[in-house]
Amino acid sequence: MSLDDRLSARFWKAAVRRLAVEINLGWWLSAWLPMAAVVALAGMVAMLQVRWRAGEAAAWVWVGIAAALAVAAVIAWWQARSRFESEAAARVRLEDALGLKARLTSATDGVGPWPEPVPRQSMTWPVSWKWRKPAAVVGCLGSLLVLAWLVPIAGASVARRHVIEKPADARMVEQWIDELRREDLVDERSADEVERKIKELTERPAEEWYEHASLEAAGTLKEQTASEMREMAENVAAAAQAAAALEAMQDSLPAPLREALANQLAAAMQDLERGEFKPAGDLAALLRDLEPADLGQLSPEQLAALAKRLAANRRALAAALANCEGFDLGDVDGWCDACSGCKPCGECAGCKAGKGCLKKCAACGRCQGGRPGRGGITRGRGDAELSFGEENDLGEKRIERIQKPIDVDRAAPDEVLAVVDGEHEVDESAYTGPRAGGGIAGEGDGGSAVQVDALLPAEQSAVRRFFE
């Protein structure tokens, strides 16, 4: 075999192999595409599911899809191999398409030389790809997968949280506890106890949160927590007020009064200790260190420090409670927003008699150891100052007013908006058809038979016979 013949043989054998591979690839593709479609659709569903349940695991879905496609490729090859074209068959196809007059087969059989190689560009290749359909299928499936990967989707947990909100009372209590905890005003165990109760409520199925019993429980928890917070505020206010009085009138105070104030301070601090909401931080440590019996023996410096600490705690508590949505502190003795703790003057008769300051507070100018109208720690509450405003201003944002008789905006779909009695306007003088003249027995109505009863039986039978 000459060199040229060897080159020709190599060229044609490569061409035959290429054709066989191309055809076999087509068979493999026709077996693989349906499987790939199934895998892609399943992958799309899996992608959406995984993204919905656990978004960070979505990348693994791609790995799974790739693995499934690879397995499908192997199965497709196994299925399609019975249809694969041998090189001999591809050779026939090639030589027939190129008009080589069976010279490739003959040369392969050792008869005659191999034909001269044909330039690729001038070669009529026996088969051509119909890419449109496979490409469209692959493109659609890829698009579906990418769509499933990119389409915005809420996670299942987020969706669940958004679907059913906790009852408003429970949310309020949570917010109160958070507020107190952020300001370090309440002892951790007290806060944890409340949170445990909230958790007990919310551990029930979300569908049951709005049942009557659950709402009742949440409301009770809210009232109980509010009551405890109010009690803590009263105790803090009472302790702060007593400490301030002791500090201000330490020397001038008679011994019985001083002892009464010390007892009041001790009682308030004991109530703080016993309350459901216990103070947190250094105030709690201070309360633990102080013996109620020793309160009367405190040095001026110690008393000043205690008063200062209690006043600071009261201010912080006031600020925190002010941020608690839905919480109403109510009337608490010694609670003044303006001066953050009014001090008795120590000079008036009331102070000297131990019956409370009779002068107005120098800081706020309104109270005497309390809110306006209060006469001091022993006088109880007085009348609050009256204020003028709109009669219909009920202290809320929304102003109520009488609804209009017909409010179209609020009308229900089947609601009758109005019923009006009326009559049609009838023209009495209009022509209503012939009434008289011309021998017409009755009034003419369109479509009515005019002769029904106008014929005698004999005439009727004559007419019937005629038409028969």
Q: Taking CB under 8 A as the rule, which mask of x and - marks residues 61-100 in contact with other proteins?
A: ----------------------x-x--xx-xxx--xx-xx
User: 344 exposed, middle or buried (CB, 10 Å; 0-12, 13-18, 19+)?
Assistant: buried
Tokens (6 digits) for 450: 């005019």
Does 117 sit near other proteins (CB under 8 A)? no
- The three-state secondary structure class of 156 is helix
Would you say 238 and 317 are in contact if contact means Cβ atoms under 8 Å apart? no
Question: Which of residues 122 and 128 has its CB atom nearest to other proteins in the complex?
Answer: 128
Count the site residues for other proteins by CB under 8 A. 40
Would you say 60 and 42 are in contact if contact means Cβ atoms under 8 Å apart? no
348: left (phi over 0), alpha (psi -120 to 50) or beta: beta
22, 195, 231, 333: which one binds other proteins (CB under 8 A): 22
Does 102 sit near other proteins (CB under 8 A)? yes
Question: Which of residues 29 and 144 has its CB atom nearest to other proteins in the complex?
Answer: 29
CB of 105 to other proteins, least distance (A): 4
The residues pairing with 374 across neighbouring beta strands, listed in sequence order, are 381
Does 188 sit near other proteins (CB under 8 A)? no
Does 129 sit near other proteins (CB under 8 A)? yes
Can you tell me which residue has the tokens 């493999």?
Answer: 28
Q: How far is CA 320 from CA 176, 278, 315, 442, in A?
A: 8, 15, 9, 95
Does 30 sit near other proteins (CB under 8 A)? yes
Would you say 128 and 97 are in contact if contact means Cβ atoms under 8 Å apart? no
Does 292 sit near other proteins (CB under 8 A)? no
Does 133 sit near other proteins (CB under 8 A)? yes
Question: Which of residues 134 and 382 has its CB atom nearest to other proteins in the complex?
Answer: 134
d(CA 41, CA 208): 37
Tokens (6 digits) for 319: 């600020």
49, 79, 106, 302: which one binds other proteins (CB under 8 A): 106
Question: Which of residues 86 and 157 has its CB atom nearest to other proteins in the complex?
Answer: 86
55, 64, 134, 155: which one binds other proteins (CB under 8 A): 134
13, 103, 359, 366: which one binds other proteins (CB under 8 A): 103
Does 119 sit near other proteins (CB under 8 A)? no
- The three-state secondary structure class of 98 is coil
Query: In the 3-class helix/strand/coil scheme, how is 55-102 assigned residue by residue?
Result: HHHHHHHHHHHHHHHHHHHHHHHHHHHHHCCCHHHHHHHHHHHCCCCC
Stretch of residues binding other proteins (CB under 8 A), selected from 129-137, 228-236, 255-263, 296-304: 129-137
Report the interface residues with other proteins, using CB under 8 A. 1-2, 5, 22-23, 26-27, 29-30, 83, 85, 88-89, 91-93, 96-97, 99-103, 105-106, 109-113, 124-131, 133-134
